[in-house]
Amino acid sequence: MATIASNLQAVRAAIVSAAASAGRAEEEIGLLAVSKTFPVDAIREAHLAGQTRFAENYVQEALGKIAELADLAIEWHFIGPIQTNKTRSIAEHFAWVHSVDRLKTAQRLSDQRPAQLPALQLCLQVNISGEASKSGVAPEAVAALAQAIVQLPHVTLRGLMAIPAPSDDVAAQHAAFARLRELRDQLNRQGLHLDTLSMGMSHDFVAAIAEGATMVRVGTAIFGNRLYPREADNPGLDAG
């Protein structure tokens, strides 16, 4: 049976080879291990194998794990739907938030970020495939939201995140990721300094890297199939 350590090794090798094919330096691509639904033992195993950045989707679940793993040097990323009443916990316990799609959320995260911590690193989640059911800001609304967020004192806007509609069609995967990259480039031409493209999951991170991903969010390929079905496009499951 594949272990977490060997899965991680395989994912890292795939990242290196995807970067090489794209003519990119592998150091440009960060690996975020998505540990939602997996127990702290699985995270310890991945950490022992050299993984230091982990991502969680559900605040209550994450807070328990963060407390239990306080002895490890882990950079925690929040990638799930954000409920207004959870912004304080997120601001207090995470280094990055990838799923901001409203100014009100960003304002609360900035207001609630503890003064002794560095600025919270943010990505705007963009609804790149235009699906009505998905969270994320519409591409045409990203510029105004980004310009407002960069004014906030205790957050730093780093880039864009997307979860394109799942597709086995590699050309469709490339097209969606290319749209996010083009949007980021357009914002930078308007004076922003966005260095992060958070895109690519277990089934499509190779295409994402070819299109410029700087952070891939990989769960299943590292930890195996999730123990219970909770998907990123099911907000409302964060009842604790």
Cβ closest to ligand PLP, residue 150 vs residue 174: 174
In this structure, how many other beta carbons lie within 10 angstroms of the beta carbon of residue 58?
18
> Among 149, 197, 210, 232, which residue interacts with ligand PLP (rule: CB under 6 A)?
232
79 binds ligand PLP (CB under 6 A): yes
| 165-173 long-range Cβ contacts below 8 angstroms, 24+ apart | 165/129, 165/131, 165/134, 166/203, 166/204, 167/204, 168/203, 170/207, 173/204, 173/207, 173/208
Q: How many residues bind to ligand PLP according to rule CB under 6 A?
A: 14
Q: Which residue has the tokens 């605040």?
A: 59
Report residue 96 as tokens: 């990055």
Q: How far is the CB of 113 from ligand PLP (least distance, A)?
A: 22
Told to check if 234 binds ligand PLP by CB under 6 A, we report no
Quote the crossing angle between the two packed helices 103-112 and 142-149, to the nearest 10°: 20
Choice from 220, 227, 234, 240 touching ligand PLP (CB under 6 A): 220
CB 161 within 8 A of CB 181: no
Tokens 């890292």 — which residue? 12
- Closest distance to ligand PLP from the beta carbon of 57 (Å): 5
Rounded Cα gap, residues 216 and 208, in angstroms: 8
> What backbone torsions phi and psi does residue 168 show, to the nearest 5 degrees?
-85, -5
- Cα distances from 174 to residues 142, 179, 180, 205, in angstroms, run 21, 9, 10, 10
Task: Indicate the residue type of 77.
Answer: H
Residue choice 201, 206, 209, 213 for contact with ligand PLP (CB under 6 A): 201
Q: Of the ranges 1-9, 88-96, 101-109, 217-225, which one interacts with ligand PLP (CB under 6 A)? A: 217-225
Interface pick for ligand PLP out of 15, 33, 34, 142 (rule CB under 6 A): 34
Per CB under 6 A, does 217 bind ligand PLP? yes
Q: Which two tokens stand for residue 147?
A: 């310009």
Stretch that binds ligand PLP, among 11-19, 83-91, 138-146, 195-203 (CB under 6 A): 195-203
- Cβ distance to ligand PLP smaller for residue 138 or 148: 138
In the complex, least distance from residue 93 CB atom to ligand PLP, rounded to whole angstroms: 18
Name which of residues 114 to 173 contact ligand PLP (CB under 6 A): 163
CB of 231 to ligand PLP, least distance (A): 7
Query: Distance between CA 240 and CA 238 in Å, rounded?
Result: 5
Which of 154, 202, 224, 235 is in the footprint of ligand PLP by CB under 6 A?
A: 202
Q: Which residues bind ligand PLP (CB under 6 A)?
A: 34, 36, 57, 79, 163, 201-203, 217-221, 232
